[in-house]
Chain A
């Protein structure tokens, strides 16, 4: 009898997530948008951010056209009467605080720094959405790609510096740093003791003279921030740098596309190694 009860409870427990699946999910963060589209059933998604439709930032820009968009304002979010709101830990703080105060169920997502943290986050969101099976499948996909990438590791590691708009660079303790080392490159900024993000004056970049300079893909419209990589000094370096242009959408948010960035970097590393 107790055994039967236990079996009945197990059956109930297995059925429970499906019943408790949130049906009106709103995302106010670009990375949460993409996780939501990958994991949830379309009818679970109430709204995404407008950034989800931006081809330069989002990997699922076309899919995002099927859903209403928001600008992350509390009033817009409330209109959907959400049973779950996905937000970033560091963005839209005012909206997030307001939503929590009025009792909305908000899941705040951290910025993952390692592939393990990426996988943990996928499982967390999958659990919240009642989509554990899809989360496991996505984790397996990422795990497979990671193993394939680690397979081709070579001992000789060319040096690299990431140069983001406004001269920002990425140091140790970030997902991008993890991907860089997975590509067989050694991150000079991390070696110099830089943590997370920091500004690297053009002068310091020239002095570091890395083998590979990792930049974003050029944008169509100008800004001083993105103009920096066109400074003539960079094309006059005595030892020319290998330029790797990584579209920002590949690694702005963690997803399977980050391994496309690894492939681009891996190619640049190979070219740097082949040079005399």
Chain B
């Protein structure tokens, strides 16, 4: 079971070029995300101040406001792109994505419950715990109702049910809060944003996102084997139950951790794997890294866009990703309409 049995050397070469290109795109978007913001900032001077640890206002803006934003864009986008690629491969379903099937929505509910009840004030670490726990419950529920062999429509219908319930519960918790501002914050949780997040948010989201991504990458070989059919995968020694546990816990950790600090950002996990799949010769294992990098690049680019658009207040990130993603979803449904009937 080595890689060479699957891919000829020529593909290997172009795959490396693809990853290098995507990494460059992520790097460029990351630097742009640091350089673009509100108000004028001499990026070079600010960077010099940071490097020589001088306490200037521009250094402060760079490290305490723009850096957390760029880091969250990188990690959250990475997690969403990866989760989408793994779920589409495992469920053999082109519409599988944390947002569409309701995992993100459930995670938002978990985080909202922890935050507005005041538990997050006890320890900020509880915020991702709430998101992860709710994402886990939703993951197991979805697998129970619509497992691996379910039709596309069964999975989507189960997703609609989870999504609407989660959205309603988020709204309920926000309306029950005695703080009059809470009720207006549903947009943040259902559309997502990196605005005014701090390094604390990065610190609490990074461990679950990193652990979750490792679990998801661990499914790579099993996903390749599964592409040849379940029996073949079993005969190659892959235990489907182990893969399923890795997948659910990986998605819950990565998406739950991400949503807890940035709200639910839709469509990244849907669009990116579809765009990149033809470039990796439809090999699930190769798609994972490419899709994760692509997700980071798209999320960072969308976050740059919301800062450049002259809206008051700032647009939520999910608005931009949905404007890109929804027509894409529509075209997918168009192509699938024979199968879904």
Q: Mark A205-232, 1 if CB is under 8 A from B, else 0.
A: 0110100000000011111111010011
Q: A204-B38, A233-B65 are in contact. Are A222 and B179 (CB under 8 A)?
A: yes
Contact with A along B118-157 (1 / 0, CB 8 A): 1011000000000000000000000000000000000000
A206–B184 Cα distance when bound, in Å, is: 25
Chain B residues in 8 Å Cβ range of A231: 64, 196, 198
Known pairs A222-B120, A225-B184, A232-B64; A202 contacts B115 (CB<8 A): no
Residues in B with CB closer than 8 Å to A206 are 57, 60-61, 64-65
Partner of A221, one of B56, B58, B179, B198: B179
Taken together as a complex, chains A and B put the C-alpha atoms of A68 and B66 apart, in Å, by 50
What CA separation (Å) do A182 and B38 show in the bound complex? Answer: 31
With beta carbons under 8 angstroms apart, the residue of A166, A224, A225, A232 that contacts B200 is: A232
Q: Are A223 and B185 in contact (CB under 8 A)?
A: yes
Quick one: which of B58, B179, B188 contacts A226, CB cutoff 8 A? B179
B177 within 8 A of A: yes
Inter-subunit contact B116/A232 (CB<8 Å): no
User: Does B55 reach chain A (CB closer than 8 Å)?
Assistant: yes
Is residue B181 within 8 Å, beta carbon to beta carbon, of the partner chain?
Answer: yes
Chain B residues with CB under 8 Å of A193's CB are none
Instruction: Report the separation of the CA atoms of residues A206 and B38 in the bound assembly, to the nearest whole angstrom.
Output: 11
Q: Which residues of A contact B198 (CB under 8 A)?
A: 231-233
Q: Please tell me if the beta carbons of A202 and B65 are within 8 angstroms of each other in the complex.
A: yes
> A222 and B121: CB pair below 8 A?
yes
Q: How far is the CB of B213 from chain A (nearest CB, A)?
A: 26
Q: A139 to nearest B CB, angstroms?
A: 31
B313 at the interface (CB under 8 A from A): yes
Q: Across the interface, which residues of A come within 8 angstroms of B39, CB to CB?
A: 201, 203-204, 207
Question: Which residue on B lies nearest to A234, using beta carbons?
Answer: B64
Query: For residue A248, which residue of chain B has the nearest CB?
Result: B180
Chain B nearest CB, measured from A80 CB (Å) = 25
For B188, list chain A residues within 8 Å (CB). Answer: 224
Chain B stretch 311-341: residues in CB contact (< 8 A) with chain A: 312-314
Evaluate contact between B38 and A201: CB separation under 8 angstroms.
yes
Is the beta-carbon distance between B196 and A228 smaller than 8 angstroms? Answer: yes
Q: A199 interface residue, CB < 8 Å from B?
A: yes
Bound complex: CA A245 to CA B58 (Å): 26
B233 to chain A, nearest CB (A): 45
Question: Which of chain B's residues 1-57 have a Cβ closer than 8 Å to chain A?
Answer: 37-41, 55-57
Closest to B189 in A: A224
Number of interface residues of A (CB under 8 A): 27
Size class of the B contact interface (CB-based, 8 Å): 35 or more
Inter-chain contact B57/A207, CB cutoff 8 Å: yes
A101 within 8 A of B: no
Contacts of B196 in A (CB 8 A): 167, 201-202, 228, 231
User: How far, in angstroms, from A125 to B179 measured CA to CA in the complex?
Assistant: 31
**CB–CB B184/A222 < 8 A:** no
Number of interchain pairs (Cβ within 8 Å): 90
Residues of chain A within 8 A (CB-CB) of B37 are 201, 203
Assess the B185–A207 pair: CB atoms within 8 A. no
Expressed in whole angstroms, the minimum distance between the Cβ of B286 and any Cβ of chain A is 39
User: Does B279 sit within 8 A of A, measured CB to CB?
Assistant: no
CB contacts (< 8 Å) of A228 on chain B: these are 196
Distance to closest chain B CB from A192 (angstroms): 11
Q: How far is the CB of A211 from chain B (nearest CB, A)?
A: 14
Partner of A223, one of B40, B41, B116: B116
User: Do the beta carbons of B185 and A224 come within 8 Å of each other?
Assistant: yes
A222 to B199, Cβ gap below 8 A?
no
Please, which residues of chain B bring their CB within 8 A of the CB of A2?
Answer: none
Q: Considering the chains assembled together, what is the distance between the CA atoms of A203 and B195 in angstroms?
A: 10
Cβ–Cβ contact A232 & B199, under 8 A: yes
Q: Does A103 sit at the interface, judged by CB under 8 A?
A: no
Query: CA separation between A13 and B36, bound complex, in Å?
Result: 68
Is B179's CB under 8 angstroms from A207's CB? no
> Is A137 interfacial (CB 8 A cutoff)?
no
B178 at the interface (CB under 8 A from A): yes
Q: How far is the CA of A260 from the CA of B312 in the complex (A)?
A: 32
Assuming A204-B38, A204-B39, A231-B198, is B57 touching A166 (CB within 8 A)?
Answer: no
B179 near A223 with CB under 8 A, answer: yes
Q: Mark B58-82, 1 if CB is under 8 A from A, else 0.
A: 1011001110000000000000000
- Is B236's beta carbon under 8 Å from chain A? no
Task: Check A158 for interface membership: any CB of B closer than 8 A.
Answer: no
A42 at the interface (CB under 8 A from B): no
| CB < 8 Å neighbour of B182 from A202, A223, A233 | A223
Are A225 and B56 closer than 8 Å at their CB atoms? no
Interface members, chain B 168-202 (any A CB < 8 Å): 177-179, 181-182, 184-185, 188, 195-196, 198-200
Question: In the complex the two chains form, is A236's CB within 8 Å of B179's CB?
Answer: no
Closest Cβ–Cβ distance, residue B121 to chain A (whole Å):
6
Residues of the A chain whose Cβ atoms lie less than 8 Å from the Cβ of B185: 223-225
A-B interface, 4 closest residue pairs, ranked by CB to CB distance from nearest: A225-B181, A233-B64, A238-B55, A201-B38
Beyond A203-B66, A223-B182, 18 extra complex contacts between A and B, CB < 8 Å: A165-B181, A166-B181, A202-B196, A203-B37, A206-B57, A206-B60, A206-B61, A207-B41, A207-B57, A221-B177, A222-B116, A222-B120, A224-B185, A226-B179, A231-B64, A231-B198, A232-B64, A237-B60
